[in-house]
Amino acid sequence: MERLGNKVALVTGAGQGIGRAIALRLARDGADIAVVDLNDENMQAVADEVRALGRKATIFKADVSKRDEVYAAIDHAEKELGGFDIIVNNAGIANIQSIANVTPEEVDKIFKVNVEGVLWGTQAAAAKFKQHGTKGKIINASSIAGHEGFPLLSIYSATKFAVRALTQASAKEFASDGITVNAYCPGVVGTDMWVEIDKRMAEITGAKIGESYDKFVGGIALGRAQTPEDVAAFVSFLAGPDADYMTGQAPLIDGGLVYR
């Protein structure tokens, strides 16, 4: 029996990287998938991959920093896929800048995506779950940077600490409705985001391209960089019945890099 059989999951930022891996893993485990992103071509490719796994898929273009668009995405998922059970608030961006030089525009942009995006997704999903009396699951993207602040990643870290706070508070608020809220905290994942992080760190510090990435990977106890599939496997656990008694948590899944 499929763990997520006939469940409907919406994944934001699902067009690439970790979001794509999450969408495909949830589909393999039996869920139908609403693929939400800003890139039409990427969304369509992931939806086709989901359908190739024998599951239904729909796409919806939305900017998660805009509340109305997030609500519309969830309405679309419910209408097209016949239900709504799981949201993965995965969409996020990075900011690599020294505290001394970060600008108001940079702060505003990353908080709107990484924090408000999670807030609106949580709010909209909870409203839909309560409307139907569904014991839904809300799963948010935090990070190792949500447990420890890193140099040149201060503002990014602040957003991921904020996601943990939202996760804890909303878990307490929605527990009486049977809605669980958890987060996942990846480490150094081989995605386009980390390519950009490494590039920006090289620009700021004078390090060679690849040097910062290799330094972080060198600190991982399991001896390798993380894959998007490593993250997706844990998210699928959070989405499934084995995590029904878990709420308000933000576990690290980083191969042994940050310890709490």
How far apart are the C-alpha atoms of 251 and 25, rounded to whole Å?
A: 19
Tokens of 260: 């709490």
Cβ atoms 67, 121 nearer than 8 A:
no
End-to-end CA distance of the chain: 35
Q: Which residues are catalytic?
A: 156
Reduced 3-state DSSP string for the chain: CCCCCCCEEEEECCCCHHHHHHHHHHHHCCCEEEEEECCHHHHHHHHHHHHHCCCCEEEEECCCCCHHHHHHHHHHHHHHHCCCCEEEECCCCCCCECCCCCCHHHHHHHHHHHHHHHHHHHHHHHHHHHHHCCCCEEEEECCHHHCCCCCCEHHHHHHHHHHHHHHHHHHHHHHHHCCEEEEEEECCECCHHHHHHHHHHHHHHCCCCCHHHHHHHHCCCCCCCECHHHHHHHHHHHHCHHHCCCCCCCCEECCCCCCC
